[in-house]
Amino acid sequence: MKKTVILIQAALMLMMASGCCQNAPQNTEGEMTNPVIENIMARRSVRHYTDQAVSRELLQQIAECGVNAPNAMNHQQWEVRIIDSQEYFDGLTQVLKEKSPYPMGDDDPKFRNCLRNATAAIAVACPDDESGMCLINVGLLCENVCLAAKSLGLGSVVMAGPVMMINSIPEAKPFLDRLNFSEGYKLRVIVGLGYPDEEPQARPRDLGKIKFVE
């Protein structure tokens, strides 16, 4: 009986130790590690990509990570479009290069297209709302997209400049129409995706912006 009790106690101790390891993972040197935090801290905005295409399976997975972001009242007031057509990229780039008030690609020897040279992109739309929550929701979705991409070995870049031109240049309207957003939904942001062809260094963050409330 005593031997049985000892065995049970030993098993419980092993289970508790296993649970602690799950909550505070360690590497082989005993240092604390956290893959989620490591992924967040390693993410960079990538503006140069290889010409390797991203599979639709990966793009679908990344988009699904996006729509699993927190959102107000779970109303999910967003629409997501995945773009991986080279013809779409080429046509849109030609229009924006011709009609943009700013030079596009003139100082970039690796210039491929107007979406920061990405080989795929995720476009996100939402309606206007007085509270501004829809835009916050879109931001949360895009962060999920960027982190999911990083975890899968891809780079990402969040873009607003091309969005403003697509929404305002009449010649770009056919490309906006092809996104087929519902009535009342407006294109807000595009996230470029692809296999990175650069390794940008981290830019300094002002940790003084973080303060505790006393």
116 and 20 part of one domain: no
74 and 163 part of one domain: yes
Cβ-proximal residues to 172 (8 Å cutoff; 6+ apart), any chain? 92, 95, 96, 99, 165, 166
Q: Which residues share a beta bridge with 157?
A: 192
101 and 173 part of one domain: yes
CATH number for the domain that contains residue 100: 3.40.109.10
102 and 131 part of one domain: yes
pLDDT tens digits, 120-130: 999 999 999 99
Q: How far apart are CA 162 and CA 96, in angstroms?
A: 8
101 and 183 part of one domain: yes
79 and 18 part of one domain: no
6 and 87 part of one domain: no
pLDDT tens digits, 61-107: 999 999 999 999 999 999 999 999 999 999 999 999 999 888 887 77
Residue 48 domain boundaries: 44-194
Residue 91's identity, in one-letter code, is G
186 and 87 part of one domain: yes
87 and 144 part of one domain: yes
Q: Residue 29's pLDDT is what?
A: 53
Q: Residue 49's pLDDT is what?
A: 96
Q: How far apart are CA 159 and CA 161, in angstroms?
A: 6
Cβ atoms 137, 71 nearer than 8 A: yes
19 and 94 part of one domain: no
Q: How far apart are CA 52 and CA 20, in angstroms?
A: 41
Note whether residue 10 is domain-resident: yes
State pTM to two decimals.
0.83
Q: Say how far residue 110 (Cα) sits from the centre of its chain.
A: 23
Say what percent of the chain tops pLDDT 70.
Answer: 85
Return the exposure string of 44-75: e unless at least 16 CB atoms fall within 10 Å of the residue's CB, then b.
bebbbbeeeebeeebbeebbebbbebebeeee
Task: Return the sign of the alpha-carbon dihedral for residues 136, 140, 141, 145.
Answer: positive
Note whether residue 90 is domain-resident: yes
- Tell me: pLDDT of 26 over 60: no
**How many domains would you assign to the chain?**
2
Q: How far apart are CA 183 and CA 134, in angstroms?
A: 15
